[in-house]
Amino acid sequence: MKIIVVGAVAGGATAASQIRRVLPDAEITVYDKGSTMSFGNCGMPYVIGGVIEDKKKIISATPESFKEKKNIEVYVHHEVVRIDRKQKLVEVKNVQTGKSFTDSYDKLILSPGGSARRPTYEGMDTADVFTLRSYDDMEEILSYIHEKKPSSCAVVGGGFIGVELAEVLHEQGISVSVIERNKHMMSILDPEIAVLLDEELRNNGVALHRETEIANINGSKLTLKNGDVVEADFVMMSVGIIANTELAEAAGLEIGETGGIVTNDVMQTTDPDIYAIGDAAENKEWFTGKPKRVPLAWHAHRQAYIVAKHLEGKPVRIKGLLGTSISKVFSQSVAMTGMTDDMLEEEGIPFKTVLHKSKTNAGYYPDHANITLKVTYHAETRKVLGAQAFGGKGIDKRIDVIATAIFGGLTVDDLAALELSYSPPYSSPKDPVNMVGYKAE
């Protein structure tokens, strides 16, 4: 079997590796238009912030290592520009030389990722503006900071990446302003949690400009629609990801309402010989089954595994997306899983919530912190529908436990009965997750 993979970052590299594990005799070729394969996108902000001092540490594989260890051919600087579904051919362009050639496939896996959304503003060409999506983007930003030594930055967009950038740039001694058009940072969060995030950012010296957008830019001067003026030596755009679906769309594959390539529960597109995974793939939401696209690393890796198992003839089916995620915000963390209040109201699902505030572990133990945990559950069945948390250490543990509870179909009352590990450095005899269950009674 001859398999071509388009894209060599999280989804594509993992798919190739997983396929080699289950199909040792397959001929596997990977093409990627970038300069670097298999790098950790999520680690890039921390390279910029100096937390990760050696940028090469976020690269987990090279074309040479893939060839040597897995017998997989990887070609970087090579872009697949056309798919001929009838002939089962792809046209590949060497972006360095401009020369093109064709390659054939039995199965084709699309993992083209997404591109950073880059809105345009009047006078934008007068400013130094960056996006962070590729390894090359990261290197460009690192060089700019090293050479120009900027003292201020405007981050446009207060989502997960925008908030992480605000922290790491601030830790580099750069004055940061975040411009967010919604009422709170990370607008996907419910207000009870989002307000805590805003407070943490402000307490650490990050200027927040909410419910407004850029009107125009004049060099280092950004005028906002509410009349505020922000001085910034450079601008970081962090306003979302656009799925790279041009190749799939030109080949006649169906594009869904989320803007991603439509897939079934084994990641096949509308052409059964072509699969799609990662940021550009549209799946379904866990509870409603409606189309959903989550551009996060876990989903790309899981989808890669599902493709490999299907090619092996032992299919494993994707069960839906919860969107479980977490982000570090200075000394605090913010995390979520499942549905929010707004999502539930939009779907007309009756729900109730429990909000619990406590210590992350025994209050008498020197190393403890605060936690605010919100859990949402179905008003009739009492099954857990979602959770959000903000606070110090152990936020990841609580959200992960609740994500597992959702996966297992547990009720909010079951949370009280969970036997969770306890020792004063880690928790309390009644963990915050247990307390949510007790409160719900």
Residues assigned a catalytic role: 42
Q: Tokens at residue 321, please?
A: 């997306």
* 3 state DSSP class of 415: helix
Instruction: Please give the Cα distance from 190 to 38 (Å, whole number).
Output: 34
- C-alpha radius of gyration, the chain, whole number: 23
For the chain, the distance separating the N- and C-terminal CA atoms, rounded to the nearest angstrom, is 56
Instruction: Please give the Cα distance from 232 to 121 (Å, whole number).
Output: 15
Name the E strands within 300-369.
325-329, 332-338, 351-359
Instruction: Please give the Cα distance from 406 to 402 (Å, whole number).
Output: 6
* Secondary structure of 160-175 in HEC code, one letter for each residue: HHHHHHHHHHHHCCCE
Are 321 and 284 in contact by the 8 Å Cβ rule? The answer is yes
Query: Residue type for 211, please?
Result: E
Q: Tokens at residue 334, please?
A: 């913010």
**Phi then psi dihedrals of residue 371, to 5 deg:** -140, 140
Which DSSP letter does residue 98 get?
-
Are 200 and 234 in contact by the 8 Å Cβ rule? The answer is no
**CA nearest to 37, candidates 1, 70, 3, 2:** 70
Are 418 and 408 in contact by the 8 Å Cβ rule? The answer is no
Question: To the nearest 10°, the Cα dihedral for 135, 141, 146, 152?
Answer: -150
Instruction: Please give the Cα distance from 46 to 244 (Å, whole number).
Output: 25
Per DSSP, the residues of 64-103 read: HHHHHHH--EEEETEEEEEEETTTTEEEEEETTT--EEEE
Are 124 and 22 in contact by the 8 Å Cβ rule? The answer is no
